[in-house]
Amino acid sequence: MPAKKPAIKSKTNRSHSQRPTINSSRARARPASSRRRQSKPPSLTDTRVMLFNKPFDVLCQFTDEQGRQTLKDFIEIENIYAAGRLDRDSEGLLLLTNNGQLQAKLTAPNKHTYKTYWVQVEGDVSDSAITALETGVELKDGMSLPATVTRISPPNVWPRNPPIRERANIPTTWLAISIREGRNRQVRRMTAHVGYPTLRLIRFSIGNTSLLQHGAMLANGGYCELSQAEIAQLLQS
């Protein structure tokens, strides 16, 4: 009588739960090591930081399903990302980098980095309105922190496309407003709260980095790359 072959039967009836246990542990191990590699920031020599003068009506992202203008229409460098945001209807300084650690540092709320905006508002701004903005105003999401606000002469900047809508016989005022918060549309809400709607908003500087580079204003829609020494200062700030 021929002998039975239990080995074949045992192999056929092997529990299916045994294989996933081994494969699952391997699957978990690979992404873990992969995440460790990805979390390591680029070295200083590999870190890149771009200063971009964002035009009006441009989104602070590289893709858009609706076909609107994005950063990709102006910057063709791969693997860099915006450090912070600037509203579509705002203009001016935007920093981009390939260093996630630096990106987080530049946008960390506890850093309280001052950002200065050149703001054109409707009306002749009163001293009491400036005092209110400097002291803090009550917004829907709470009181704004104290700000630095000064009247300035109309800055020598690029024309906006399209131009702002000015009403006849109503003057406008330019203000330099420095805040250390980053709430949604905060500057616009602050000026509206004191009775002076924002017509145009240009971010001029973030900390010690500004649109003024090597004695000249960065062209609207243009960008430049920081040197290694300038990047090192950003990392140490």
| Residues 6 or more apart in contact with residue 125 via CB below 8 angstroms | 151, 173, 175, 196
Euclidean distance between the first and final Cα of the chain, in Å?
86
Report the distance separating Cα 44 and Cα 95, nearest Å: 17
Active-site annotation holder among 87, 89, 124, 127: 87
Q: What residue type is assigned to position 206 of the chain? A: I
Question: 3-class DSSP state for residue 216?
Answer: strand
Residue 73 a catalytic site member = no
DSSP 141-200: TEEPPP-EEEEEPPP--PPPSSPP-PPTT--EEEEEEEES---TTHHHHHHHHTT--EEE
Position 168 scores a pLDDT of: 83
Q: What is the pTM of this model?
A: 0.81
> Are the CB atoms for 189 and 139 separated by under 8 Å?
yes
Residues of the chain with pLDDT under 70: 1-39
